[in-house]
Structure 1
């Protein structure tokens, strides 16, 4: 799946500040001169539609709306009035059922809903799993929006920001390129143990000497691809490249050859879901900040694969 985040070399800019005006009852009706004695106060409509929330997020992304993007609605429509929001890595059937239980009708997912990058469903028209899932969403009038390209284009990248928060590494991250992290020197083994504990991972795959010292790290969540991985190694010169997912015949073989050449480089493969799931926490916090009055819940789909 061609699932590449934004390049790492964009300049850092300050995150925009957003302010929400809230009315508080103080006992003094400052607006009283504007209100006819016979009239009642008009209740403020704090409801939001799916489209309004999508547009609100996209406005905060440098460059704004994209002409070519996978970040489209996979079910529902823009005019649905939101009763609650669920943020999740995937809109799995279990996540959809949880949204129904919560009374939420808007799921913001980071990855595809229908098993391919573009969510093309023509080839699935007669598939029973697809039909069950699509009908479940339609029956409960649930909108699913994939927020992949846009969240990766935030500055800093929203997924990376969420992962750094999860790992308690924001204080170690480079100010211009947060994917570059300099931690106190530790062994590769202890680094992997730390990653597993903080990210709730049962096992990781790695290349390297468990006893080697590590300090300079390059974190690239998701499946950025071999060019991003290898160019990152060449430009950043990290002790360890930490990624989500790879093709085994590409980045892994490059690292193996680099080590045979004598380079000090290690590789840690977290798994795609584990490496980006914290982006759903970032998204949940964004909703809380920018969409007042709407209940939002992060739901963790967990790993689709088990280890034996």
Structure 2
């Protein structure tokens, strides 16, 4: 028996006890630093807006575009992403629904502030712009316009998304605006597009009984020059577009048919014609960031048809 206050066996000498006591004490002292380090590591792994933008560029094999409109319209690149919503337009409804879903990053194909460059001073003292900015700030939501880079993907996400929804993937060729499908009457083609794309009303120029096989598919608003150029070069049975300047493409098609041309025109509507592309983009992006939920919210057709 020893006079020491503590008794130590040969298997656990006093020196080891002191060393281990010191280690335990040091660990307790360093605990705040250890927690901070773990938090730092977690933050380093967190997906930020900027990281996701960079990932899209890398995974899409996209090169920077000079003077692109694809910039952040709200929020900042350093904020951690809690969820992503893709859409055509970051409407008030889409913003509020994103907030409900705890998604603080909206990737929108078209402008947020009603002009191509999202210049908030496009019209001075625009109260709708001001209130929308306040809404985005309230929910701490970042909005990235994904237009130029979206169309630069291979395949173009928008035209591919439309072809996918219309069940035309087997006829789709990357880089081509022309699809050759099994022969179908123009009227039946209109019904198919309304059903497959979920569109209430379409505008059409042409004979509903004429047969269509060769299609020029130009969703969105690529403009009269683009529309007329593809018709002149390819002579399609039907030109399918998102929207037109009525005094350009529509009048060209009308006079062309009166002069003996056969090309018909189907106008889908801008928003609904490109929405399938932003829906498809969820399928493209989600596997690349499995830890962040990506969902699509359709901004929808802004019009009521009476």
Query: Under TM normalisation by the shorter chain, which class is it?
Result: 0.7 to 0.9
Residues 115-146 of structure 1: per-residue CA shift (max 9 Å, x gap)? 11110102456332211110111122110000
- Highest RCO, 1 vs 2 (Cα 8 Å, sep ≥ 6): 1
Tell me the TM-score normalized by structure 2.
0.83
SS across alignment from 1:267: strand
> 2:86–2:297: 8 Å Cα contact kept in structure 1?
yes
Give matches, 1:1-308, under 5 Å: 46-61=45-60, 64-124=63-123, 126-173=125-172, 175-308=173-306
Q: Which moved more, 1:45-54 or 1:78-87?
A: 45-54
Cα separation, 1, equivalents of 2:157 and 2:299: 19
Cα separation, 2, equivalents of 1:144 and 1:176: 28
Residues 154-182 of structure 1: per-residue CA shift (max 9 Å, x gap)? 12111111111111101122x35442111
> 1:274–1:303: 8 Å Cα contact kept in structure 2?
yes
Measured after TM superposition, the shift of residue 46 of structure 1 is 4.4
> 1:156–1:178: 8 Å Cα contact kept in structure 2?
no
1:62 to 1:227, Cα distance in 2 relative to 1, 3 A: farther
Q: Which has the higher helix share?
A: 2
SS across alignment from 2:243: coil
Measured after TM superposition, the shift of residue 235 of structure 1 is 1.7
> 1:88–1:277: 8 Å Cα contact kept in structure 2?
yes
> 1:59–1:65: 8 Å Cα contact kept in structure 2?
no
Q: Which moved more, 1:70-79 or 1:289-298?
A: 289-298
> Would you say how many aligned residue pairs link Structure 1 and Structure 2?
268
1:135 to 1:299, Cα distance in 2 relative to 1, 3 A: same
SS across alignment from 2:97: helix
SS across alignment from 1:249: helix
SS across alignment from 2:247: coil
Cα separation, 1, equivalents of 2:123 and 2:255: 41
2:3 matched to which residue of 1? none
> 1:226–1:250: 8 Å Cα contact kept in structure 2?
yes
Cα separation, 1, equivalents of 2:84 and 2:53: 12
Measured after TM superposition, the shift of residue 281 of structure 1 is 1.1
Q: Which moved more, 1:179-188 or 1:88-97?
A: 179-188
> 2:90–2:106: 8 Å Cα contact kept in structure 1?
yes
> 2:154–2:174: 8 Å Cα contact kept in structure 1?
no
Unaligned runs of 5+ in 2: 1-26, 28-33
Residues 202-227 of structure 1: per-residue CA shift (max 9 Å, x gap)? 11111100011111101000000111
Cα separation, 2, equivalents of 1:176 and 1:236: 17
SS across alignment from 1:203: coil
1:125 to 1:249, Cα distance in 2 relative to 1, 3 A: closer
> 2:239–2:265: 8 Å Cα contact kept in structure 1?
yes
> 1:125–1:131: 8 Å Cα contact kept in structure 2?
no
Unaligned runs of 5+ in 1: 1-37
Tell me the TM-score normalized by structure 1.
0.83
